[in-house]
Amino acid sequence: MASKFWTQGGSDTEEESSDYDSENEDMGPVDNDAQTAGNRYLSVNASDSEDSDTQKRVVRSAKDKRFEEMLATVDQMKNAMKINDWVSLQESFDKINKQLEKVMRVMESDKAPTVYIKALVMLEDFLAQSLANKDAKKKMSSSNAKALNSMKQKLKKNNKQYEELINKYREHPESEEEPEDEEEEEEEESDDSEIEDPTKLDVSDQEEGSEVDEALDSQESGWKLKMSKKDSLLVKQFRDPKEATWEKVNKWFKEIVAARGRKGTGRYEQVEQLTFLSQVAKTPAQKLEILFSVVSAQFDVNPGLNGHMPVDVWKKCVQNMLVILDILMQYPDIVVSDSVEPDENESEKGPEYAGTIRIWGNLVAFLERIDAEFFKSLQCIDPHTRDYVKRLRDEPIFLVLAQNVQDYFERAGDFRAASKVALRRVELIYYKPQEVYDAMRKLAEQTEDNGEEAGEEPKVPEEGRVPTMFLVTPELVHRKPTFPENSRTFMDALVSLIYKYGDERTKARAMLCDIYHHALLDEFSTARDLLLMSHLQDSIQLMDISTQILFNRAMAQLGLCAFRVGLIAEGHGCLSELYSGGRVKELLAQGFSQSRYHEKTPEQERLERRRQMPYHMHINLELLEAVHLICAMLLEVPNMAANTHDAKRRVISKNFRRLLEVSERQTFTGPPENVRDHVMAATRALTKGDHESAFNAIKALDAWKLLRNKDSVLEMLRANIKEEALRTYLFTFSSSYDSLSVDQLNKMFDLSEAQVHSLVSKMMVNEELHASWDQPTRSIIFHEVEYTRLQALAFQFTEKLSVLTESNERALEAKIGGGGLELPMRRRDNQDYAGGATSGAGKWAEGGLSFNQGRQGSSEGRSGYSGRAYGMGQGGGYSRDRAGLVRGAGGYSSRAARGSHMDGSGRMVSLNRGFRT
């Protein structure tokens, strides 16, 4: 929203033309005022050409008077030119000729003053330009056209007298003026409607300060183009601080602001002018008002949505914001809000004014915009360059600003706004592991010293330039960041504020960041509980895309975390959804994947590009894929071994199965190259129960070096592989054995006796393995319960029958709606429960189960096996879990679907929405 708002200025062009006239009418009186008010100074400046001694300013000779009249007329002419009003131009021309006589008389010279010549040149140019523009000529009103023609004649006649002077002038426009200044002028002339080259302008930014004064000395300074003229006029106006009044500053301010977004208004110039104005402002309120405009003008500097704000402008912008905060700190009576329409003269009230002063402004919007620009700049800069690193170093500056803004809001009692700001801070911190966080802290402390200077740089010279600064703002808010030792405490403080005061979206985002951060710190259970308690899985598909991306990121990180702490099934549950569509990159906004089936329109592509995560926030995809596949392998390999009869029945990871099929189809298998190859090699070893080579294949992956606690993770992995290898081995070869001794298994799988015992017992209890222990001999006795083919088929048949019955019951229920059946009764219970769950805070038990058994739930739910649970009467508790499962899984997958298509095709999105609503 903010960006839209701010960019309006740039795209206002079509409005502009219609507003043009009326605005000029508005400007008319203002300009006249300016003449009357500024007369004194103009005349003084005129006299400067002969005598630059300022002491004489007070003396007002007749000569000066004449001169100043002439200048006024020139001004009028310029105005007329602007609106292409030849009638008034003609009048002014007549007037200036009359004045010329007087001036000549007074000055007692026969040479026409340069001002006059300049006016002539200007007129001539303008005339030629207008004549050349045939279209415009045709559109002119008849009186205007007539005036134009007569002007043409008059000017031709008139100019003959001064031909020599004009030519001379044209050759050396302003003899006294500095050559650079002239260049600048030309530049501005040539491309004042375009965006100027930032670097160049920046140079001129610095220079102008010093130059302006010199340029001032020449009376011709009024001859610049409109804006630059104004600029120097401005400086002229306020050359002496004592002379500046609130009204004057205000008037100029209004004028400059009115020019915003108009064609021909240089964006940088506007920033310049406003910055200057802000220094001469009389009251704190006024300074504040102007500074707000400076900041918004700085936002205007970059017109497009795709580019980013130049870095130096960004930095200045941050500095301005800090000054704003200084003022607000110094004068707590000043209230900034965007809801009240302040009085015209609200800012006149000085610091001694007792009541509150209201100023229009929205600090949160500004801050968010600054953050957005920072984000965008990181998106645009190539991450492999030094620029990127340099840009990243600006992060602490922003954090300082955000901290100050947040403090301000907290002081002001506006916790809603404070929570928004806190979210921005959270979003900068959440993805940083403790190491990175420490590095940032160190950096912030390091740059303290030189950062002080760097931060002051734009300020100090300015202050130097205006020694008697109108309003000195002491630096009240701290300029260096204070970070708590531990990133977690930092997060906690911010997040709890947001939970307390934030709105829905802010809270959801903060929650996701919180989850991400917990996951980053290997606190899986905390992160999981947060996720389940917040019900974000259910509602995420209704949120905006960037939040969905954040959700995906949090899920990915949660999956990684689960893996790191050794929870394989949970890890797989988190990651499998991300990988089900094969569009991980898109889901995490870390790149684009080409789709074979539909082309993206450029518009979509642009949108997608705008959503991309900056490089430093990326989750390493290789690691993610490795973790996902390893989790899938550890779950799927024993599962496949257990269900050799009907391999299709229980598929845990479709993705993994597909990959396995592909790799099995290969005639030759080369040494593993990428992540998949490694995992496939490990899988082949694991299916034979060869845990060592399986582990070695996995250990060879490069991605492990990205893990902080690499060794312990690998150790965990080794243990897991051993266990799964044992299970797979038992499943596969149990039919070949009559009995197996524990010692043998110990040796084979390098596991302790207790582990083997526990694992095998578990399999026995779950009836996965038909065997029992023979305690005195410490061996496993296998029972011959292998079904014959016929028996197995008979079981399948009965299962299908129960599915059929189930669906019959459902059909009947749908038809007659409830009734005496047990099933509907139970279902109603479920609904009750669901209702209770959504109303109660703690629904997470069922969510937790869905979490743990997501895979089972989804697969069984799909094939309709839940009916069996009812039939066997396993109790309501069980079916309750089921309901939760299916619901959780369903919501989740639809999210994934939407997530994956959200940017792809509008068709898919609307389809999904249709389902949901």
Partner 1 sequence: MAQYDLTPRIAPNLDRHLVFPLLEFLQERQLYPDEEILKAKIELLSKTNMVDYAMDIHKSLYHTEEVPQDMVERRAEVVARLKALEEAAAPLVAFLQNPNAVQELRADKHYNLQMLNDRYQIGPQQIEALYQYAKFQFECGNYSGAADYLYQYRALCTNSERSLSALWGKFAAEILMPNWDTALEELNRLKEIIDSKSFASPMNQVQSRIWLMHWSLYIFFNNDNGRTQIIDLFNQDKYINAIQTSAPHLLRYLATAFIVNKRRRTQFKDFIKVIQQEQHSYKDPITEFLACVYVNYDFDGAQKKMRECEEVILNDPFLGKRVEDGNFSTVPLRDEFLENARLFIFETYCRIHRRIDMGVLAEKLNLNYEEAERWIVNLIRGSKLDAKIDSKSGTVLMEPNHLNVYEQLIDHTKALSGRTYKLVGQVLEHGQTQATR
How crowded is residue 205: how many other Cβ atoms within 10 Å of its Cβ?
19
638 touches 731 (CB < 8 A): yes
Min dist. Cβ of residue 525 to partner 1 (A): 4
Shorter beta-carbon distance to partner 1: residue 709 or 777 = 777
Query: For residue 728, what are its two tokens?
Result: 């797979």
Distance (Å, whole) CA 240 – CA 236: 8
Shorter beta-carbon distance to partner 1: residue 82 or 535 = 535
Q: What angle do CA 854, 529, 758 make, to 5 degrees?
A: 60
Distance (Å, whole) CA 396 – CA 483: 10
Min dist. Cβ of residue 792 to partner 1 (A): 10
Shorter beta-carbon distance to partner 1: residue 264 or 875 = 875
470 touches 280 (CB < 8 A): yes
Min dist. Cβ of residue 709 to partner 1 (A): 18
Give the CA count within 13 Å in the CB-facing half-sphere of 636: 27
Shorter beta-carbon distance to partner 1: residue 706 or 794 = 794
Shorter beta-carbon distance to partner 1: residue 85 or 881 = 881
Strands 334-337 and 357-360: parallel
Distance (Å, whole) CA 113 – CA 837: 89
Min dist. Cβ of residue 412 to partner 1 (A): 27
Distance (Å, whole) CA 728 – CA 725: 5
Min dist. Cβ of residue 725 to partner 1 (A): 19
Which residues, including other chains, have CB under 8 Å from residue 568's CB and lie 6 or more apart?
562, 631, 634, 635, 720
Footprint of partner 1 on this chain (CB under 8 A)? 525, 533, 754, 757-758, 761-762, 764-765, 767, 770, 772-777, 781, 783, 785, 787, 791, 794-795, 798-799, 801-802, 805, 808-809, 812, 815-816, 819-821, 833, 836-837, 839-846, 848-849, 852, 871-872, 874-875, 877-878, 880-881
Shorter beta-carbon distance to partner 1: residue 591 or 836 = 836
Shorter beta-carbon distance to partner 1: residue 648 or 815 = 815
Min dist. Cβ of residue 821 to partner 1 (A): 7
Shorter beta-carbon distance to partner 1: residue 497 or 760 = 760
Which sign, positive or negative, has the C-alpha torsion 302, 308, 312, 316?
A: positive
Min dist. Cβ of residue 560 to partner 1 (A): 18
Shorter beta-carbon distance to partner 1: residue 264 or 819 = 819
Distance (Å, whole) CA 727 – CA 68: 101
Shorter beta-carbon distance to partner 1: residue 719 or 781 = 781
Query: For residue 601, what are its two tokens?
Result: 């329109």
Query: For residue 521, what are its two tokens?
Result: 């710190």
How crowded is residue 677: how many other Cβ atoms within 10 Å of its Cβ?
17
Shorter beta-carbon distance to partner 1: residue 213 or 829 = 829
Min dist. Cβ of residue 882 to partner 1 (A): 12
Shorter beta-carbon distance to partner 1: residue 355 or 877 = 877
Distance (Å, whole) CA 133 – CA 123: 15
- The number of angstroms, rounded, from the C-alpha of 688 to the middle of its chain's C-alpha atoms is 50
**Letter for the amino acid at 418?**
A
Min dist. Cβ of residue 758 to partner 1 (A): 5
Shorter beta-carbon distance to partner 1: residue 662 or 801 = 801
Distance (Å, whole) CA 522 – CA 567: 11
Distance (Å, whole) CA 527 – CA 518: 5
Q: What angle do CA 689, 690, 692 make, to 5 degrees?
A: 140
Shorter beta-carbon distance to partner 1: residue 48 or 860 = 860
Which residues, including other chains, have CB under 8 Å from residue 561's CB and lie 6 or more apart?
518, 519, 520, 522, 523, 524, 527, 571
Work out the end-to-end distance of the chain between its first and last CA atoms, rounded to an integer number of angstroms.
26
Shorter beta-carbon distance to partner 1: residue 733 or 878 = 878
Shorter beta-carbon distance to partner 1: residue 133 or 798 = 798
Which residues, including other chains, have CB under 8 Å from residue 30's CB and lie 6 or more apart?
251, 254, 255
Min dist. Cβ of residue 335 to partner 1 (A): 32
Please, which residues bridge with residue 781 across strands?
739, 772
Min dist. Cβ of residue 805 to partner 1 (A): 5
Nearest CA to 110 out of 68, 73, 165, 47 is that of 165
How crowded is residue 448: how many other Cβ atoms within 10 Å of its Cβ?
14
Nearest CA to 785 out of 775, 797, 772, 773 is that of 772
Min dist. Cβ of residue 801 to partner 1 (A): 6
Min dist. Cβ of residue 757 to partner 1 (A): 7
Q: Three-class SS string for 327-354?
A: HHHHCCCEEEECCCCCCCCHHHCCCCCC
Distances (CA, A) of 855 to 564, 862, 870: 20, 11, 20
Query: For residue 399, what are its two tokens?
Result: 């954090």
Shorter beta-carbon distance to partner 1: residue 8 or 807 = 807
Min dist. Cβ of residue 761 to partner 1 (A): 4
- 828-851 in b/e form (b: 16+ CB < 10 A) is eebeebbeebeeeeebbebbbbbb
Min dist. Cβ of residue 637 to partner 1 (A): 22
Shorter beta-carbon distance to partner 1: residue 711 or 767 = 767
Min dist. Cβ of residue 749 to partner 1 (A): 17
381 touches 391 (CB < 8 A): yes
How crowded is residue 213: how many other Cβ atoms within 10 Å of its Cβ?
14
Token pair 């590095």 is at which residue? Answer: 439
Min dist. Cβ of residue 712 to partner 1 (A): 18
Min dist. Cβ of residue 492 to partner 1 (A): 18
